[in-house]
Amino acid sequence: MIKIMKYEEVLAEEIFARANPTADVADVVRDIVADVRKNGDRALYAYAEKFDKAVLSSLEVTEEEIEEAFSAVAPRFLEILREAAENIRIFHRAQKKNSFIINEKPGVIIGQKVIPIEKVGLYVPGGTAAYPSTVLMDSIPAKIAGCREICIVTPPNKEGKVNPVILAAAKIAGVDRIFKIGGAQAVAALAYGTESVPKVDKIVGPGNAFVAEAKRQVFGVVAIDMIAGPSEILVVADGKSNPKFVAADLLSQAEHDKNASAVLVTDSLSLAQEVSFELEKQIPLLPRAEIARASIDNNGKIIVADSLSVVIDIANAIAPEHLELCVDNPFDYLDGIKHAGSIFMGRYCPEALGDYYAGPNHTLPTGGTARFSNPLSVDDFVKKTQYSYYTEDALRAVAEDVAFFAHMEGLDAHAKSATVRFEEEK
């Protein structure tokens, strides 16, 4: 049963389960990464057989497999995927930034170029559930950014096939290549390249502890988006909230995995008790009841505070991945929320809207990192370079100032490089 406590009884950093889930697998992952780096495709085939129980004839999904999968997916779901994809495109197109140029002083031009990352790899989990939503959320921003090649890695089933809904989502999103590999070995393949898998410049996407640790270990060889921890939801709700709705929203994250955290913060003890009762009614009805039960019992909490202003302070201290504002006039509280991955406003905006359909990204900072990190966006798939241009007269006008600055730092060669061009004039 979920714990109910007063806010004075718990520290913010203890509200969500935030232990490092990758520490225990670091050595195993290090061996896998080294094996893939040394043996390439041969290691990937061996790991597919060992971990996925799949004997593969090739690592890459063929066009025929994609077409076969597309025809196997229910037409209604294909239409929903297309609608969700368009919502995601609309939101992420607004994020796109342009290069700029500044020419405000005579003879001086400075500017910045925004350049797409050339090759990106997207990890899409398999395991206990298939996530076509992750395909859309990770690949569409990359496509909008203009990345030249977008590759997906995802585990196959025992027959060596990728879940059809993953392939359908990839086709709708415009993914270039798909590989039947998962786990740490997939991350290693993307980071170092193999005979079949291209070396990419950045790896994004969620995964289990092995995937997260592999991303940690290859960071620096490639860029990564973040080290994602277990899923989190924090529901802020007042006494007028429907306990059935609140309980359902908490369980929408608790069913992800046993390490997920679902927390309600409210100013109403009555609501807290009613939500606890609702959770006990709803959990047994879930197909993933065992997972949700473990999450709620081990990591779930209901925190009762004295007022909504204190509730908002608690939310900011926690900096959750997902934050629901189940209150009247939620926009009155929006400016007060300083730290959250994604905010869901009002009594009819469940977090599941964000997972699938609304448009904002669902790859979000966890573990309190919303204090300084961002949701996945188009910005994650571009890099910036800057440039300067000075004419002879423009440099002559500032050369002595540049040299003076350089001398202050004890860097005489820096100074000389600015003044040497004009020595003969003296």
pLDDT of residue 257: 87
pLDDT of residue 127: 59
Quick check: helix, strand or coil at residue 259?
A: coil
pLDDT of residue 424: 82
Considering all CA atoms of the chain, what is the largest pairwise distance in Å, rounded to the nearest integer? Answer: 89
Q: How far apart are the first and last CA of the chain?
A: 85
Which residues on neighbouring strands pair with residue 390, listed in sequence order? 108
The per-residue DSSP string of 27-78 comes to HHHHHHHHHHHHHTHHHHHHHHHHHS----S-SBPPHHHHHHHHHHS-HHHH
How many angstroms separate the CA atoms of 324 and 340, rounded?
Answer: 10
Quick check: helix, strand or coil at residue 151?
A: strand
pLDDT of residue 280: 97
Residues acting as catalytic residues: 321-322
How many angstroms separate the CA atoms of 78 and 74, rounded?
Answer: 6
pLDDT per residue rounded down to tens, the chain (426 residues): 999 998 777 765 566 555 555 568 999 999 999 999 999 999 999 999 999 999 999 999 999 999 999 999 999 999 999 999 999 999 999 999 999 999 999 999 999 999 999 999 999 998 556 899 999 999 999 999 999 999 999 999 999 999 999 999 999 999 999 999 999 999 999 999 999 999 999 999 988 889 999 999 999 999 999 998 889 999 999 999 999 999 999 999 999 889 999 999 999 999 999 999 999 999 999 999 999 999 999 999 999 999 999 999 999 999 999 999 999 999 999 999 999 999 999 999 999 999 999 999 999 999 999 999 999 999 999 999 999 999 999 999 999 999 999 999 999 999 999 999 999 876
